[in-house]
Chains A and B, each alone.
Chain A
């Protein structure tokens, strides 16, 4: 296979509150022989909150990020669902609206950049599945996760709105997504099914609507527990923060003690590939990863 190369848009979270995500992403890429070029110039995607405040500014900043992937001539991969949503949304809006693209490019010209639309934007989960291939991945698995029941938590912003996401996620159906389940199986694990796997964790309303956010987190954790999961896995660091850190408020909100270890998608793959817990930053979790 030709060596896969991508421009990695880390987002903010992987450089701050989930350092284990960046670490495990790089570890897995190395094991699989995938080259990731870090986009250190990139700024925050706005997480859909800057979009609420100043839509045009958010387009300009996200277009600038994509410019740096275009300069390298590489597909941009994201490791956060919300980064994926906002970056892909920017790309889609600019690629389908020449006037808007021209307006954004007037601004970008001030800093010597031009958005062309030549780089694709895809989440690392889908790059692994579509470009690397699950069969190739299974061949590299040397520590199959066969003793674990693993609950996939997809996170909204990789699967909805499907009209946008299907441009990069291989046509995943948001009402019955399969990618993360397939990945668990490729790693030798047992995927468990539960209602909340494709639902929202509530992250984005946590400050202004804490009860709503906590109930949603609680539903996800309790659904996974009822399905006999040993732990959960998610491709989104924001879902991760919510599920890993906020179990106190979630338990209080739904009146039941809920708590499960939650792994980032690359941490799970890394375990199956034989990376050590330290290489995957497993010590950074608030809900302790007690099984390795």
Chain B
């Protein structure tokens, strides 16, 4: 049997009761923990041995129900899955335990996840299919088609990605990574009949995929390797493939890259902004552009650098393009 290793850790624990407290406070506990313990063990010990009023959620204890997600030193984790020794390796022996979203705290580590479920509802997170209610054969999905879901169906709706997303934190209309992953999961399912409607939902300005800042926080936060940002990229691709991309600053920004690369190999940064914003929209960038020009940061069209062997790039763009706008 392996020897039990132990270590002293200081825990700062977020406490708040919406019904009685104006502001949250933190309790500090210094505990000896062993290499076998996960965060949930510590929460249980604090509740059982120190303060029975501590509130948190847990159910399956197997990383399946998704209810125990919280943050430790800002990192979203499943309390029942995250080993303390792994966290100590990253953060040292002072750990701050907080709810996924402090501003949504109801009691201690329990939050109101209403916004999370509302976002899910927005993307119709179930199969829409006109099926025979008394089928004689099952509906088969061949392995190749099942693989198209890219494991998006592994989501346990824990909210770790959703409450780590900076775009959502600032813009509460943004649908967010978990619901996007769900939108992809059903839009990519061969049995589904509502793909196009779903693509329209995630194509909306301010709400849809275009407002993602591409920070990759969601991919990092997910305990199930759902990789939401990969699905968001797929949704972008599907929007173009379905021919429903609107002609706006976001889509022109994406398409503009192809134009620019075809012409120069490199990106013509000024032209990309003009093409994306249009001749009028571009004017709002003029004060900054002037500052940049003054400091030698703007390359004028006749000095635009080009890649060597540009003919190769042009040829590849001709032969390898898979979409049209």
Please measure, in the bound complex, the distance between the C-alpha atom of A162 and the C-alpha atom of B277, giving whole angstroms.
34
Name which residue of chain A comes closest to B230, CB basis. A161
The one of B91, B171, B254, B287 that contacts A211, using a Cβ cutoff of 8 Å:
B171
Given A52-B236, A53-B325, is A42 in contact with B307 using a C-beta cutoff of 8 Å?
yes
Question: Is B42 among interface residues, defined by CB-CB distance under 8 A?
Answer: no
Q: How far is the CB of A145 from chain B (nearest CB, A)?
A: 23
The segment from B8-16, B140-148, B291-299 that touches chain A is B291-299
- Binary contact track A7-47/B, C-beta < 8 Å → 1, others 0: 00000110111110000000000000000000011111011
Contact B313 A64 (CB under 8 A): yes
Query: Does B210 lie at the interface of the complex (its beta carbon under 8 Å from any beta carbon of A)?
Result: yes
Are B166 and A40 in contact, with the CB atoms below 8 A?
A: no
Q: A50 interface residue, CB < 8 Å from B? A: yes
Question: Which among A42, A43, A204, A246 has the greatest number of chain B C-beta atoms within 10 A?
Answer: A43
Given contacts A17-B297, A175-B73, A216-B170, contact A61 B316 (CB under 8 A): yes
Q: Contacts A44-B267, A110-B315; is A286 near B291 (CB within 8 Å)?
A: yes
Contacts of B50 in A (CB 8 A): none
Neighbouring A residues of B260 by C-beta, 8 Å: 44
Q: Do the beta carbons of B320 and A56 come within 8 Å of each other?
A: yes
Within 8 Å by CB of B213, from A43, A107, A213, lies A213
Chain A residues in 8 Å Cβ range of B170:
211-212, 215-216
- Counting residue pairs across A and B whose Cβ atoms lie within 8 Å, the total is 207
Q: Is there contact, CB below 8 Å, between B269 and A208? A: no
A292 close to B (CB within 8 Å): no
Task: Find out whether the CB atom of A160 lies under 8 angstroms from the CB atom of B295.
Answer: no
- Is A176 engaged at the interface, CB distance under 8 Å to the other chain? yes
**Which of A162, A209, A246, A283 has its CB near the most chain B CB atoms (within 10 A)?**
A209
Q: Is there an interface contact between A175 and B322, defined as CB atoms closer than 8 Å?
A: no
Assembly CA distance A47 to B213 (angstroms): 12
Chain B, range 47-67, C-beta contacts under 8 Å to A:
none
From B18-26, B106-114, B186-194, B214-222, give the one contacting chain A: B214-222
**Does chain A have a CB within 8 A of B85?**
no
Quick one: CB contact mask for B134-173 with A, threshold 8 Å, 1 for yes? Answer: 0000000000000000000000000000000011001100
B103 within 8 A of partner (CB)? no
- B295 near A286 with CB under 8 A, answer yes
List of A residues within 8 angstroms of B227 by Cβ: 161
Does A200 lie within 8 Å of B166, measured CB to CB?
Answer: yes
In the complex, the answer to whether A60 meets B316 with C-beta atoms within 8 Å is yes
Q: How many residues of B contact A (CB 8 A)?
A: 70
Separation of A43 and B75 alpha carbons in the complex (Å)? 36
Complex interface: chain B residues within 8 A of A57 (CB): 258, 316-317, 320-322
* Contact A15/B90 with A52-B237, A57-B321, A216-B213 known, Cβ cut-off 8 Å: no
Q: A57-B317, A161-B216 are in contact. Are A212 and B267 (CB under 8 A)?
A: no
Q: What is the minimal beta-carbon distance from A277 to any residue of chain B, in angstroms?
A: 13
Interfacial residues of chain A within 130-161, with CB under 8 A of chain B in the complex: 156-157, 160-161
A235 located at the interface, meaning its Cβ lies under 8 Å from any Cβ of chain B in the complex: no
B114 to chain A, nearest CB (A): 22
Task: State whether the Cβ of B3 lies closer than 8 Å to any Cβ in chain A.
Answer: no
Contact: B261 with A51, CB < 8 Å?
A: no
Check B267–A110 contact: CB distance below 8 A. Answer: no
Contact B258 A53, beta carbon cutoff 8 Å: yes
Q: Is the CB of A209 within 8 A of B171?
A: yes
Contacts of A60 in B (CB 8 A): 316, 320
B101 at the A interface (CB under 8 A): no
Are B167 and A207 interface neighbours, CB within 8 A? Answer: no
8 A Cβ contacts from A49-96 to B: 49-57, 60-61, 64
Any A CB within 8 A of the CB of B266: yes
Return the chain B residue nearest A104 by Cβ: B320
How far does the alpha carbon of A52 sit from the alpha carbon of B209 in the complex, in Å? Answer: 10
Structural contact, B213 and A212, CB atoms closer than 8 A: yes
How far does the Cβ of A92 sit from chain B's closest Cβ, in whole Å?
12
Chain B residues, CB < 8 A from A286: 291-292, 295, 297
Please name the residue on chain A nearest to B237 by beta carbon.
A55
Q: Specify which chain A residues have a CB less than 8 angstroms from the CB of B258 in the assembled complex.
A: 50, 53-54, 57
Contact A208 B316 (CB under 8 A): no
Chain B residues with a Cβ under 8 A of chain A: 73-75, 90-91, 166-167, 170-171, 174, 205-206, 210-217, 219-220, 227, 229, 233, 236-237, 240, 248-250, 253-258, 260-261, 265-267, 269, 273, 276-277, 287-288, 291-292, 295-299, 305, 307-309, 312-313, 315-317, 319-323, 325
A residues at B contact (CB < 8 Å) = 12-13, 15-19, 40-44, 46-57, 60-61, 64, 107-108, 110-111, 113, 156-157, 160-163, 173-176, 195, 199-200, 202-205, 207-209, 211-213, 215-216, 245-246, 248, 283-286
Extra contacts, 19 of them, besides A173-B90, A245-B291 (Cβ < 8 A), are A15-B299, A16-B299, A17-B299, A49-B254, A53-B257, A61-B317, A61-B320, A111-B309, A111-B315, A157-B216, A160-B220, A161-B219, A175-B75, A199-B166, A199-B215, A200-B214, A205-B210, A212-B174, A284-B296
Q: List 9 A-B contacts (CB under 8 A).
A: A52-B237, A53-B237, A53-B254, A110-B316, A161-B216, A199-B166, A208-B205, A209-B171, A209-B210
